[in-house]
Amino acid sequence: MPDHRPTESLDCLFISPPIFHGTSGNIWREINSNFPPLGLASVAACAHEAGYSTKIIDCNIESPSVDDFEAFFTAHFVNRYISIRFIGLTGMTCNIKKGYRIAMLCKKHYPGATIVFGGVHATFVTEEVINKPFVDLVVVGEGELTMLDILKRKNYKEIKGLAYKEVGEASGSPIIRNEPRDRILDLDKLPMPAYDMLPILKYHPAKGSYKRLPAMAMMTSRGCPGRCTFCNKTLGLRLVFTSAQKIFEQITHLIDHYGTKEILFYDDTFTVNKRNVIELCDLLIKNKTDISWTCFARVDCIDQEMLGRMKKAGCHQIMYGVENIDENVLRNINKKIRCDQVTDAVRWTKEARIECRLAFMVGNPGDNVEIIKKNIEFINKLNPDLLIVNIATPFPGTEMFDWAEKKGLILSHDWDDYNLGKPVMKLENMSSEEIKSLYRLMYRSFYFRPRYVIKKILSIRTWDDCKMLFGGFKALLSFFQKKKA
């Protein structure tokens, strides 16, 4: 009889748990995109470049249900690898509980593996994560260099940006938090994310956010110029950028190796470094690169010159984070923008023939029913091409969370509830039911206007346009037909 027992060993397995968007009442469940875990792919690329055998599991594609993970893991890893030295998991607040379940299953099958957690939740809720009995190490902040030190089996005490349990100590606090690691200031020195370790052709953008397929996400900077209270500064306040030349080389690689036709830049504010954006646009134009692309921006980080160059280089959609137009609410969340900047940015973007997508929130401190209705009037008057609305969510690590926690306003510490579609913070002027009702009203008031529907129907030029419009309309209907959470 042939011997089918596993014989191979693996240095490091990286796992991205499935994203949790709630069971109902959440628009992201209907328009959800699947894109690669770029941070994890960067860490994996560094490990591979250093000579370590490395694999990635992106559960969003390969095992969307945690209930099915063990069968997938057994078939593809347990039956192949006799040992895995390190298993690294990343996690946001909304999917950290799924990450815990997956980590427990990994420890069950590989009790000798070192389980490492990183990502935004582990960075800000470090003690919760490291205190889990199945977690051995937590990486705080950027993971590339810290993970390399771990793989090299350096003494834990010497590894910056690491938290761990001190075994055998009788002290009152068994948790050790080393000093922070210095930021990576030259992103050009990092290898390209490990796209080759991912099922890259299975990824797809959110409905309405793309023009062509295959499409791929990219991150070209770290940090954000904003100081909004609802945003956690995982990497501190300093902004660092990948050079335009390196961005261009990565785009060319994606086109040549995967047939990529569209890029979605997921930087918090892609346009903050105007010189870099202009240089990238010039490279794309000069080389006649066949690529369309979208990005995120702030209304105070855009101008007409840049928009014109972006359009010529293939940009077809920009999303601006506005959040609210009420001065008091904007002050409460430290969103330092003005209504006239919003109006100008939308007008300039339309004049450049670039689609304009606006992002708003319901349920910020100071919000009330009247303010949200004024927001609806403002949005409909501006008439952007697309609207995204989220329920204000005080994620751990944000000023908003600390403020709400101190005042006893946090309604839930069940991290599954932190999915942008459910109120988890008590407000003085609005109940949770009012927030959920207004959340849906903002969508309904915008997307079901006759003016908007007619405009979209008249914009159809191809069969792909028709399919995309039908898909978006179907997603909206499904969202409104679902029972409220």
Average pLDDT of the segment spanning 27-50:
85
> Looking at residue 21, what is its pLDDT?
54
Go through the domains of the chain in sequence order and give each one's CATH number.
8-177 (3.40.50.280), 204-481 (3.80.30.20)
Which of 16-20, 160-164, 176-180, 453-457 is least confident?
453-457
Average pLDDT of the segment spanning 126-141:
95
> Looking at residue 462, what is its pLDDT?
76
Per-residue pLDDT band at 326 (split at 50, 70, 90) = very high
pLDDT of residue 3 exceeding 60, the answer is no
> Looking at residue 169, what is its pLDDT?
46
pLDDT of residue 186 exceeding 90, the answer is yes
> Looking at residue 315, what is its pLDDT?
98
pLDDT tens-digit series, residues 69-88: 999 999 999 999 999 999 99
> Looking at residue 246, what is its pLDDT?
98
Q: Higher-confidence residue: 423 or 174?
A: 423
> Looking at residue 172, what is its pLDDT?
45
Per-residue pLDDT band at 29 (split at 50, 70, 90) = low
Report the chain's mean pLDDT, rounded to a whole number. Answer: 91
pLDDT tens-digit series, residues 442-468: 999 999 998 888 887 877 777 777 777
pLDDT tens-digit series, residues 349-406: 999 999 999 999 999 999 999 999 999 999 999 999 999 999 999 999 999 999 999 9
The secondary structure of the chain, three-state, reads: CCCCCCCEEEEEEEEECCCCCCCCCCHHHHHCCECCCHHHHHHHHHHHHCCCCEEEEEHHHHCCCHHHHHHHHHHHHHCCEEEEEEEEEECCHHHHHHHHHHHHHHHHHCCCCEEEEECHHHHHCHHHHHCCCCCCEEECCCCHHHHHHHHCCCCHHHCCCEEEECCCCCCCCCEEECCCCCCCCCHHHCCCCCHHHCCHHHCECCCCCCCCCCEEEECCEECCCCCCCCCCCCCCCCCEECCHHHHHHHHHHHHHHHCCCEEEECCCCHHHCHHHHHHHHHHHHHCCCCCEEEEEECCCCCCHHHHHHHHHCCEEEEEEEEECCCHHHHHHCCCCCCHHHHHHHHHHHHHCCCEEEEEEEECCCCCCHHHHHHHHHHHHHHCCCEEEEEECCCCCCCHHHHHHHHCCCECCCCHHHCCCCCCCECCCCCCHHHHHHHHHHHHHHHHCCHHHHHHHHHCCCCHHHHHHHHHHHHHHHHHHHCCCC
How many percent of the chain have pLDDT more than 70? 91
Per-residue pLDDT band at 30 (split at 50, 70, 90) = low
> Looking at residue 171, what is its pLDDT?
44
